[in-house]
Amino acid sequence: MNNRKKHIFPGFVVLIFLFIIFSSNTIGEVGFKSNDNHKFTIPPSVKDTIVEDTIKLPYPFKDDSNPYSQKTQSSPLYLSNPSNIKTEVEYDPFTGEYNITEKIGSFNYRNPSSMTLEEYRSQTRKNSINNYWSQQRRANGNLGQGELFLDKYLNPKLNVNIKGFDKIFGSNVIDIKP
């Protein structure tokens, strides 16, 4: 027991000495002071920021995120959506708006968007008129019956109604092939 008492007092002295040394290095503010007088503080909370892309595309394209907007680009290079992207339109009676979501499975492909009743009616009316006229063009141009649209305009067949033309050249039709 006496042996323990001999070791307790020097232990307390060492602890007090260490406490005094470490407490003299602290500052009244939040932070610590080093030997070369640099102040180390706790960094402020970092807010989420979106870093703008610095690489510019050589051939930029417009990514139209609204599935019901009119597609102004009609080049075959701009592909349509694949079959696994499902567009869902739901009417919310509390807000009176149509909520449009595009999903791949249960994952949202794009941010949901919404339209008022008037905007939705106007957009569906425009789409139905455009679909009607494109069907009429296909029906009148025989595009659905095997004749390609480009063949009709790039490979024209000219009918020449001159007497004796077919006797000289064998036919009244001039077929130009590029």
pLDDT tens-digit readout, 90-122: 999 999 999 989 899 889 888 888 899 999 999
Structure tokens at 55: 């690489």
Q: What is the pLDDT of residues 122-166, one digit of tens each?
A: 989 998 998 898 888 777 765 544 455 566 666 677 778 888 888
DSSP letter, residue 26: B
The larger pLDDT score, comparing residue 159 to residue 67, is at 159
What is the rounded distance in angstroms from the CA atom of residue 5 to the CA atom of residue 14? 15
What is the rounded distance in angstroms from the CA atom of residue 3 to the CA atom of residue 157? 119
Structure tokens at 104: 């791949």
Closest C-alpha to 113, from 157, 146, 65: 65
Query: What is the share, in percent, of the chain residues with pLDDT greater than 90?
Result: 13
Q: Does the global pTM surpass 0.95?
A: no
The pLDDT value recorded for residue 116 is 92
Q: Is 118 helix (H, G, I), strand (E, B) or coil?
A: helix
